[in-house]
């Protein structure tokens, strides 16, 4: 197991987390980002390198709000953590976390410039990840409210009702370009958002991909035997027939039916019947070639696809399947032994023939019933 698999197993699938746990994760991520803002404001008040970049009076004034938001985030983390023991599925926590994340980010953006790189990163990236991870209406509501606030504050700054980027001084150079100090500051503010958005999106989409693969596997697999199910084995037959036609190769189909299976179920019960099916499926998988396909067709019937084999070669392989199953013995709890056998019907396609997949299945089925009707435990090949 590689490192990624270990992480996935430990964390689980975030798409299946409770609303409270999702909200808790968002708030923890946000607390880390706020801590970076807090470190920045403390450094700005103390280091001479920030001289001329910031308005110390405004920084001292807004420092109170920065501290308050940091404490509020810690409180909400505690709330959503406690909520995981009760009302954990309430979508309220997703509304609370996404709205708090969006609105408080607008405040931080206002302090350092609404038309800045960090604001663009959050407005563009956060909703994309949010729609994957959280309730869509919660994300949409938070995004719309935050966008309205951004537009409103921008208009207020444009009309000189509010100052633009009150914490900043000398934001632009004489030629109108953003100063180097503020370029670096914006990069520092934007980097955590980019890292978290990328990491969370990658993890969630990776888990999504794994879940889709698992769902596809389940839709194609017989849960008892582990073989492909009827729908998928017929789909594989269509594909193999098309490939054989294209390459001008023969194709053979073997239908396998376990003898007296109903009697086994009636006498020893369905648990023993299930063990018989599992043993037979394993025997089939171990007998055929790697490029062959084996599927459970239904009940005690199996379908084996043998691409590229001439009729005589396929007959030899089918006989090997029959003798392998005939050699199986199931030891029962009461000390009895249960021997198995199977009847087989085979049909073949050659390049000179014009047959459909349905024709091949019907021919194999007719041959199978002929095998069962003439004594069982034998192979009959369709003419």
178 has a pLDDT exceeding 90: no
DSSP codes, 26-63 = HHHHHHHHHHHHHHHHHHHHH-GGGTTTB-HHHHHHHH
53 has a pLDDT exceeding 90: no
Q: Which range, 30-34, 200-204, 293-297, has the best average confidence (pLDDT)?
A: 293-297
200 has a pLDDT exceeding 80: no
Round the CA-based radius of gyration of the chain to a whole number and report it.
Answer: 34
Structural domain boundaries in the chain = 3-220, 230-381
- Rounded CA-CA distance 238/226 in Å is 21
Is 49 a known active-site residue? no
Work out the pLDDT band at 8, boundaries 50, 70, 90: low
Mean pLDDT of 58-76: 92
Q: Which of 300, 301, 310, 312 is catalytic?
A: 300
- Rounded CA-CA distance 309/124 in Å is 57
Taking only the tens place, the pLDDT of each residue in 254-271 is 999 999 999 999 888 999
Topology, domain 230-381 = Alpha-Beta Plaits (3.30.70)
Q: Beta strand 379-381 with 342-349: parallel, antiparallel or unpaired?
A: parallel
Percent helix / strand / coil, the chain, rounded to 5: 65, 10, 25
pTM given for the model: 0.64
């Amino acid at each position: 197991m590689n490192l990624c698999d270990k992480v996935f197993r430990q964390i689980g699938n975030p798409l299946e987390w409770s609303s409270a746990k999702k909200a808790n994760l968002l708030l923890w991520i946000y607390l880390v980002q706020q801590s970076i803002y807090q470190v920045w404001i403390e450094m700005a008040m103390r280091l001479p390198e920030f001289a001329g970049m910031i308005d110390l009076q405004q920084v001292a004034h807004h420092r109170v709000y920065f501290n308050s938001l940091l404490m509020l985030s810690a409180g909400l983390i505690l709330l959503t953590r406690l909520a995981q023991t009760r009302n954990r599925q309430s979508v309220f926590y997703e509304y609370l976390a996404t709205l708090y994340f969006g609105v408080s980010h607008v405040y931080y953006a206002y302090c350092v410039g609404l038309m800045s790189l960090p604001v663009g990163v959050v407005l563009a990236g956060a909703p994309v990840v949010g729609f994957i991870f959280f309730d869509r209406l919660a994300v949409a509501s938070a995004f719309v409210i935050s966008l309205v606030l951004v537009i409103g504050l921008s208009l207020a700054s444009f009309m000189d009702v509010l100052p633009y980027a009150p914490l900043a001084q000398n934001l632009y150079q004489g030629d109108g370009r953003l100063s180097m100090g503020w370029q670096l500051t914006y990069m520092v503010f934007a980097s955590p958002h980019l890292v978290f958005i990328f990491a969370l999106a990658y993890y969630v989409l990776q888990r999504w991909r794994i879940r889709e693969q698992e769902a596809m596997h389940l839709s194609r697999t017989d849960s008892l035997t582990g073989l492909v199910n009827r729908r998928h084995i017929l789909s594989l037959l269509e594909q193999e027939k098309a490939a054989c036609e294209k390459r001008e190769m023969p194709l053979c189909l073997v239908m396998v039916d376990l003898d007296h299976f109903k009697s086994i179920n009636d006498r020893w019960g369905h648990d023993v019947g299930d063990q018989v099916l599992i043993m037979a499926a394993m025997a089939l998988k171990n007998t055929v070639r790697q490029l062959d396909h084996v599927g459970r067709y239904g009940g005690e019937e199996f379908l084996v696809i043998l691409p590229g084999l001439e009729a005589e070669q396929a007959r030899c392989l089918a006989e090997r399947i029959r003798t392998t199953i005939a050699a199986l013995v199931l030891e029962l709890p009461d000390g009895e032994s249960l021997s198995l056998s199977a009847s087989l019907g085979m049909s073949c396609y050659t390049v000179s023939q014009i047959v459909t997949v349905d024709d091949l299945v019907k021919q194999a089925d007719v041959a199978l019933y002929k095998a069962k009707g003439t004594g069982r435990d034998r192979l009959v090949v369709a003419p």
